[in-house]
């Protein structure tokens, strides 16, 4: 039996073999030929990139610990020169190296992290008195161009994390006018927009190789902020930010569930129900806070999560051809 696995996965192949006369040696051969099993070359490439990333991470960490341990004995120009020298070396490797684009991007990632160390060292030497907000804002601004031109998802994710952190610190240290519900609503909308734009760019073919972990990491942050906004608004003033978050959450949760069903990925099937369970539990706490309601909430959480797990297992079996 000749079977093409280019659009199939390992589980589907085993399911087909289970209900056919496809021999095990042919299964193994087809899986290897169609890239389902990683080849020796792919494993070597993965290990190479992993070790390079770890090496650069330890290098940056070593520089930071060296400065911290010898802070009193080093001249301020030596402190700044060491960090700036590391940035120059990383950037030179990213620009002039004849290695692959992935290796160049890893060096660029190391330079981006070292920029943060440079701002920290500068602030500590000259005692600028700046808030943590200023530190993260400068870090964000000075790596933004690198992130935009690199097309490197880890650097994109780092930039988005810095933007979120900068805004949170701004509302805490500079502007006290933002309520918790307003902060969470803005971050919910921002991260949701990033997820929608990422999915749209993939769907129209603008970006071909965007990894799922990148989109799912931002989506997880969006779900967290959305759940926090609605849950907090239930106990405080629901209008307008609780209502705004619900109006964002309804279409977003619908699109997330549809995406999971279309792409046969259980990530959103886990996140959306869990968010709804937390919101409903918060609503029950709002209704009553006595011992009886605590028992009801406990039973509700146990029952709903058990039901969710059972449904996810059933759907997963259907996708993989194992349903009875």
Whether the Cβ atoms of residue 270 and residue 312 lie closer than 8 Å to each other: yes
Report the pLDDT averaged over residues 267-273. Answer: 95
Q: Which of 35-44, 111-120, 204-213 has the highest mean pLDDT?
A: 111-120
pLDDT at residue 204, as a whole number:
87
How many residues are recorded in the chain?
324
In the block, residue with structure tokens 């806070």: 289
In the block, residue with structure tokens 């190479």: 48
Q: For 233-246, what is each residue's pLDDT tens digit?
A: 998 888 888 999 99
Report the pLDDT averaged over residues 71-76. Answer: 92
pLDDT at residue 15, as a whole number:
62
pLDDT at residue 250, as a whole number:
96
Segment 97-101 long-range contacts (CB within 8 Å, at least 24 positions apart): none
Which residue did the predictor score with more confidence, 130 or 117?
A: 117
C-alpha angle 265-267-272 in degrees, rounded to nearest 5: 125
Whether the Cβ atoms of residue 124 and residue 139 lie closer than 8 Å to each other: no
pLDDT at residue 77, as a whole number:
92
Whether the Cβ atoms of residue 185 and residue 245 lie closer than 8 Å to each other: yes
pLDDT at residue 3, as a whole number:
38
Percent of the chain with pLDDT over 90: 65
Binned at pLDDT 50, 70 and 90, residue 185 comes out as very high
Across 17-26, 85-94, 95-104, 126-135, least confident range? 17-26
Binned at pLDDT 50, 70 and 90, residue 205 comes out as confident
pLDDT at residue 177, as a whole number:
85
Tell me the C-alpha distance between 284 and 141, whole Å: 43
pLDDT at residue 24, as a whole number:
65
Query: Is 8's pLDDT higher than 90?
Result: no
Query: Is 19's pLDDT higher than 80?
Result: no
Query: Is 38's pLDDT higher than 90?
Result: no
Binned at pLDDT 50, 70 and 90, residue 173 comes out as confident
pLDDT at residue 109, as a whole number:
96
Tell me the C-alpha distance between 190 and 183, whole Å: 11
Q: Which 3 state secondary structure label does DSSP give 258? A: helix
CB atoms within 10 A of CB 303: 11
pLDDT at residue 138, as a whole number:
92
pLDDT at residue 2, as a whole number:
37
Query: Is 142's pLDDT higher than 50?
Result: yes
Tell me the C-alpha distance between 182 and 245, whole Å: 10
pLDDT at residue 174, as a whole number:
87
Confidence (pTM) = 0.86
pLDDT at residue 157, as a whole number:
96
Report the pLDDT averaged over residues 288-299. Answer: 93
């Amino acid at each position: 039996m000749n079977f093409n696995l280019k659009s199939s996965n390992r589980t589907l192949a085993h399911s087909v073999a289970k209900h056919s006369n496809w021999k095990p040696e042919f299964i193994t051969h087809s899986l290897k030929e169609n890239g389902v099993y990683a080849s020796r070359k792919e494993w070597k490439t993965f290990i190479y990139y992993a070790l390079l990333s770890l090496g650069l991470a330890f290098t940056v960490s070593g520089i930071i610990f060296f400065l911290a341990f010898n802070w009193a004995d080093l001249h301020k120009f030596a402190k700044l020169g060491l960090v700036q020298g590391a940035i120059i070396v990383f950037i030179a490797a990213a620009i002039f190296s004849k290695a692959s684009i992935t290796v160049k991007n890893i060096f660029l990632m190391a330079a981006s992290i070292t920029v943060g160390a440079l701002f920290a060292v500068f602030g500590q030497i000259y005692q600028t008195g700046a808030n943590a907000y200023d530190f993260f804002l400068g870090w964000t601004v000075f790596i933004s161009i690198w992130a935009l031109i690199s097309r490197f998802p880890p650097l994109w994710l780092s930039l988005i994390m810095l933007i979120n952190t900068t805004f949170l610190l701004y509302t805490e240290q500079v502007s006290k006018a933002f309520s918790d519900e307003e902060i969470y609503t803005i971050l919910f909308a921002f991260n949701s927009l990033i997820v929608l734009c990422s999915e749209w760019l993939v769907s129209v073919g603008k970006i071909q190789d965007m990894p799922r972990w990148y989109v799912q990491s931002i989506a997880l942050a969006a779900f967290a902020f959305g759940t926090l906004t609605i849950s907090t608004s239930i106990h405080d003033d629901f209008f307008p930010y609780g209502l705004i978050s619900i109006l964002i959450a309804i279409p977003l949760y619908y699109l997330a569930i549809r995406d999971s069903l279309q792409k046969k990925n259980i990530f959103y099937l886990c996140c959306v129900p869990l968010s709804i369970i937390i919101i409903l539990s918060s609503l029950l706490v709002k209704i009553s806070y006595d011992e009886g309601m605590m028992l009801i909430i406990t039973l509700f959480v146990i029952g709903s999560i058990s039901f969710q797990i059972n449904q996810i297992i059933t759907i997963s079996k259907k996708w993989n051809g194992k349903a009875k």
